[in-house]
Amino acid sequence: MLEKYFSAPKTLRRLRTGPSGSYIDGFADTLESAGYSKASAIRYLRNAAHLGQFTKGRRGGFAAIGASTLKAFRRHLSSCRCPSSNGGKTDHHTRFGVKLFYNYLIQRGVCQRHSISDVTKPTPELVVCFRDWFQKHRGAAKATLRLYCRGAVELLEALGPDTHQWDAHRVRKFVLDRSSECAMETAQKLITAARAFLRYLSFLGECPVNLDQAVPALARWRLATLPRCLTAEEVDRIIAACDGGSIGRLRDRAIIMMLARLGLRASDLAQLRLGDIEWENGALRVIGKGRHEVRLPLPQDVGDSLLHYLECRPRVDHTDRVFLRNIAPFRPFVTGHCISNVVKRALKRAGVKSPAKGAHLLRHTAATEMLRHGVPLNQIGLVLRHRSIDTTAYYAKVDVALLKQVAQPWPEVNS
């Protein structure tokens, strides 16, 4: 496989007879299957050979490679004068190539991964059971589970492992003390996690009944602000900023269209699978929060943009996710934050100024546009999958025409 990237017999012989020679061909195969360009693959193969030369005189060889070895190699790069390092710049590409080679060696079983979790304290068994129960019965996402488990661990460390001895005074004091040390958003997340954990303990009979009611509520006025949204002209500018025939632009256009027309969440698109698109019925199956499943109509323009992207979407065998990275390695988006980053870049290209930059901006825009076109609030709530009509009523604040009908004149104006 090296012959695809190198033609000089001297270079091929040096790479295959060097310390990394036993793994260099397999690493080249991995780079090709991941979709890396020829220039990137050549750079990363040279980095692998360089790492081999660096570990040649170190105890343990490749089997002993770990985080400390990689740190020492990065320090070595600043003053590297290795005659057999195969050239190449010592920049961030070098560090990334070495990381790829290290991961390849782990997959081959040559060395072991030394993760941070090996040195951190283990999660208490009670919190592990709470996490598993919450995932099974509530269908919570991994990010939500991490948030709740972090709050549960803090509660256990502050009040002690004997949950039967917990009382309302101690719980309340913990929440108030902890909230005074952090921002409002962090405190609100802690309160939500503490309540969920205490309800779970109460269900098991491991703490006094209704102890979750001892958790105080912070002053926070829900739905007190106006929804941040864009005008129809600004949405058209963002969509136009995604014009082009490249894979990245076709993918971005499909994402923007689905967010702006259907009001989807970023996590909905990140988790969307090929089987969720019902082409014959013109519908889209969406599984959102709490594993709540709905079918939404697929408009013609949204379907066309999605089809154009799928026609040139990278062929990846190990996943059926719709949206992938457009650069190697081709793999699905990890979280909804990746979708929000697509929106941020599109806003920047279109020159649209907005106080909000993420994918939720387009969800707000879709809701307000439906309201302005006369769609009832209950139907908007069905599209947005709100559990309460009160949440959907938030968007009534931007219906200026309706507000004019119910607004009462000030006495000073009539006098």
pLDDT, tens only, 133-184: 998 888 787 888 999 999 999 999 999 999 999 999 999 999 999 988 888 8
Closest by CA position to 244, among listed 338, 300, 312:
312
**Token digits for 13?**
């012989």
Q: How far apart are CA 211 and CA 204, in angstroms?
A: 13
Closest by CA position to 329, among listed 62, 44, 132:
44
Closest by CA position to 164, among listed 211, 216, 214, 215:
211
Helix (H, G, I), strand (E, B) or coil at 263: coil
Which residue carries 């961030």 as its tokens?
Answer: 92
Residue range 8-31, pLDDT digits in tens: 888 888 888 888 888 999 999 988
Instruction: Tell me which fold the domain 232-402 belongs to.
Output: hpI Integrase; Chain A (1.10.443)
Tell me, rounded to whole angstroms, the distance of Cα 32 from its chain centroid: 26
| Residue 40 burial (CB count, 10 A) | 18
Structure letter (DSSP) for residue 295 = E
Radius of gyration of the CA atoms of the chain, in A: 27
The residue ranges of the chain whose pLDDT is under 50 are 87-88, 116-119
Which residue carries 């000073």 as its tokens?
Answer: 412
Q: How far apart are CA 80 and CA 90, in angstroms?
A: 9
Q: How far apart are CA 221 and CA 233, in angstroms?
A: 32
pLDDT of residue 233: 93
pLDDT of residue 322: 93
pLDDT of residue 116: 44
Known catalytic residues are 265, 289, 360, 363, 386, 395
The total number of residues shown for the chain amounts to 415
What CATH architecture applies to the domain 125-213? Orthogonal Bundle (1.10)
Residue range 260-279, pLDDT digits in tens: 999 999 999 999 999 999 99
